[in-house]
Amino acid sequence: MATLPKLIRAMRNESPKHHNLVLPSLRRAFSLYDQINLIDNVPEDQLRFQEFDETSFTVNGVKYDGSLLSVGNLLMSWSPRSFSEITTDSLSIFQTVRPIPELLIIGCGRYNHPVNPQVRQFVKSIGMKLETLDSRNAASTYNILNEEGRIVAAALLPYGVTS
């Protein structure tokens, strides 16, 4: 049992050694034994954001540059390149998507920003809830909810976007 406190202290003192940051999985985080890997139980056709850097995301082993929009297990390029470009027009695809996701997670880039009231009202009028987070936490939240089988959507700006 004394090993766990040592591990936690060592992790706090460690700094990232590379630019690509791996996103944690809730299923993996609660496994204390390397021989137990619950991630393998996630279907192969299910989207998982695995890494990110300043300009791209790695999803299911494939690197995608720029902003991404993910609905359920569909992934597409998304036009906004800055937070100010997130408008009702940039989210208009949700007027036709069925089933309607219960939650839209907006990844704002490096920092979380409050969303324009028009955008918030638009998302609410479609029947979704809205959560804004920095892109790292947005991708992780999407992974967790998607692994649970919930119908969620993510609109993510690259982590290098700061405004």
pLDDT (tens digit, 9 = 90+) per residue, 128-152? 999 999 999 999 999 999 988 899 9
**Does residue 93 surpass a pLDDT of 90?**
yes
What integer best gives the mean pLDDT of the chain? Answer: 83
Model pLDDT, residue 163? 73
Contact 138, 86 (CB under 8 A): no
Tell me how many degrees the CA angle 47-50-52 measures, rounded to the nearest 5.
120
Confirm whether 83 is domain-assigned: yes
| Structural domain contains residue 80 | yes
What pLDDT score does 26 carry? 52
Q: Into how many domains does the chain fold?
A: 1
SS3 of residue 71 by DSSP: strand
Kindly report whether the global pTM for this prediction surpasses the value 0.85: no
Per-residue pLDDT tens for 17-35? Answer: 545 666 655 544 444 444 4
The backbone region for 61, taken as left when phi is positive above 0, alpha when psi lies in -120 to 50, beta otherwise, is left
- The answer to whether position 10 is within a domain reads no
Q: Is the pLDDT of residue 7 over 90?
A: no
Whether residue 8 is contained in a domain is answered as no
CATH of the domain at 102: 3.40.1230.10
Task: Give the pLDDT mean for 75-97.
Answer: 95
Overall average pLDDT of the 73-91 stretch: 94
Domain that holds residue 132: 65-162
- Please indicate, yes or no, if residue 5 is contained in any of the structural domains: no
